[in-house]
Amino acid sequence: MATEERQIDNGIFRVTKWTIEPGDAIPMHVHEFEYAVVPLVTETMHVINADGSEIVAELHNGQSYTRPSGAEHTVQNRGTRRIEFVEVEKLA
């Protein structure tokens, strides 16, 4: 199972550092809020959407991206190195 470290949760932003070891995953979940991801590594992760479709996400250290609210997926690390990123959710 992936680990999460909640760093900020102040009613405006929720900031979580995620670590996914090789062979681990973040279980299926729904994003209630728009969010940004800040990769801390350059790696590949696999995103499996609720409808079964799959996205191969190429992470690049420090190159952020955003996603809209409503995303429902699981995130897998099929590689041999740890994946780490910071997720920033916009709550307000």
Considering Cα of 30, then 18, then 84, then 80, what sign does the dihedral take? negative
Return the CATH number at 61. 2.60.120.10
| pTM score, whole prediction | 0.94
Please give the residue range of the domain that contains residue 63: 3-90
> What digits encode the pLDDT tens for the residues 22-67?
999 999 999 999 999 999 999 999 999 999 999 999 999 999 999 9
Q: What average pLDDT does range 2-25 have in this prediction?
A: 98
pLDDT in tens, 15-24: 999 999 999 9
**Average pLDDT in the 5-21 region?**
98
Q: What values do phi and psi take at 59, rounded to 5?
A: -90, 140
Measure Cα distances from 33 to 23, 41, 58, 77, 92 in Å. 27, 24, 22, 23, 9
Looking at the 3D structure of the chain, how many domains does it have? Answer: 1
Angstrom distance (rounded) from CA 87 to CA 17: 6
